[in-house]
Structure 1
Amino acid sequence: MSAIAAFVAVRTLRTFGGFELQASIRTDKALMLARDAVIAYAAWEDSSPGSLLCPDFDNSGVADLNCSSRAVGRLPWKTLGVEMPLDGSGECLWYAISPNARNNIAPASRGSGGTMPAMNPSYLGDLTLRDSTTGMSQPVVAVIIAPGRPLSGQSRTATPSGCNGGSANAFLESRGGIDNAAGGPGFITGTPDTAFNDRVIAITSEKLFAAAKARVLIALAGRDAPATHGLRGLYASGVDAASLLADDGTGRLKLNFLDTTVLAVFSPPASVSPKADGDCSRYDTAGNYTAEWLCFNRWLDYTQYSPIAPDSARLSLPGWQAEFSIANPPRLVRAPTP
Structure 2
Amino acid sequence: MNNQARFIQRQHGIALIIFTLTLVLAAIAYFLTQMNSNTVKLAREKTSISALAEAKSALIGKVIGDPNITTSFYLPNPELSLNVPTFPEGSETGVAGSQDRIIIGKLPWNSLDIGPIKDGTDECLWYVLSGRFKNNPKTTVLNWDTQAQIDVIDANGNSVATNVVALIVSAGAQLTGQNRSVTTNTQCGGDYDVMNFMDTPNSVNAVAGQVNYFAGTPNHREATDVNNKQFVRAKNDYYNDQFVFVTVDDIFKPIIRRTDFKSQINTLLNMAQLSTVSISGVNTKGADNIDCNLITNANDKRFCENWKEMLLLIALPSMPIYLDGTATATCNRVIIFGGQKTSGQVRLTAADKNNPANYLEANNLLAFNAPATNTFYGVSNFDPDNPSADVMRCI
Q: 1:170 Cα deviation (Å)?
A: 1.0
Aligned to 2:210: 178
Answering whether residue 81 of structure 2 is matched by residue 58 of structure 1, we say yes
Distance change in 2, residues 1:159/1:130 (3 Å):
same
Please give the alpha-carbon distance, in whole angstroms, between the structure 1 residues aligned to 2:295 and 2:134: 19
Q: What percentage of aligned pairs have identical amino acids?
A: 22
Q: Post-superposition shift, 1:256?
A: 2.8
Secondary structure of the residue that 1:51 maps to in structure 2? coil
Matched, 1:205 2:272: no
Amino acid at match of 2:271: F
Structure 2 residue ranges without an equivalent (≥5) = 1-33, 83-88, 201-205, 215-220, 275-288, 311-336, 341-376, 389-395
**Structure-to-structure mapping, 1:78-97, within 5 angstroms:** 78-97=110-129
Are 1:169 and 2:195 matched, yes or no?
yes
Q: Please, which of 267, 292, 295 is the counterpart of residue 301 of structure 2? A: 292
Conserved 8 A contact 1:61-1:79: yes
TM-superposition CA deviations, 1:216-275 (whole Å, max 9, x none): x33434xxxxxxxx79xxxxxxxxxxxx7xxxxxxxx97233469xxxxxxxxxxxxxxx
Change (3 A) 1:131 1:17: farther
**Is the counterpart of residue 280 in structure 1 residue 305 in structure 2?**
no
Q: TM (normalized to structure 1)?
A: 0.62
CA offset at residue 124 of structure 1? 2.7
Evaluate the alpha carbon distance shift between residue 133 and residue 41 of structure 1 in structure 2; reply closer, same or farther with a 3 A threshold: farther
Q: How does 1:212-231 map to 2 (within 5 A)?
A: 212-215=255-258, 217-221=259-263
What residue identity is the alignment partner of 1:30? A
- The higher relative CO (CA closer than 8 Å, separation ≥ 6) is in 1
Alpha-carbon distance in 2 for matches of 1:320, 1:122: 13
Q: Deviations over 1:119-172 (max 9, x none)?
A: 222113022222336711412111111101212222213322211333211111
Once the two structures are superposed, residues 284-334 of structure 1 have per-residue CA deviations (whole angstroms, 9 ceiling, x without a partner) of: 89x6x2x22332221743279845xxxxxx63135789xxxxxxxxxxxxx
SS at 1:37's partner residue?
A: helix
Q: Does 1:25 align with 2:46?
A: yes
Residues of 1 paired with 2:119 and 2:72: CA distance? 28
2:384 aligns with 317
Q: Structure 1, unaligned stretches of length 5 or more?
A: 1-12, 111-115, 222-229, 232-243, 245-252, 261-276, 308-313, 322-338
Q: For 1:164-204, what per-residue CA distance to the aligned partner results, in whole angstroms no more than 9, with x for missing partners?
A: 33321111113312111224542424332222111112211
Query: Who wins on radius of gyration, i.e. which is larger?
Result: 2
Structure 1: distance between partners of 2:94 and 2:131: 13
Contact persistence 2:211–2:232 (CA under 8 A) = no
Question: C-alpha root-mean-square deviation of aligned residues, in Å?
Answer: 3.4
Residue 127 of structure 1 is aligned with which of 143, 150, 164?
150
- Pairwise CA distance, 1:91: 0.5
Please give the alpha-carbon distance, in whole angstroms, between the structure 1 residues aligned to 2:159 and 2:295.
Answer: 43
Measure the CA separation in 2 of the matches of 1:44 and 1:78: 16
Q: Counterpart of 2:15?
A: none
Structure 1 residue 34 and structure 2 residue 55: aligned?
Answer: yes
Structure 2 residue 166 is the aligned partner of structure 1 residue 142: yes
| Matching residue of 1:103 | 135
Q: Take 2:268 and 2:77, find their aligned partners in 1: how far apart are those partners?
A: 34
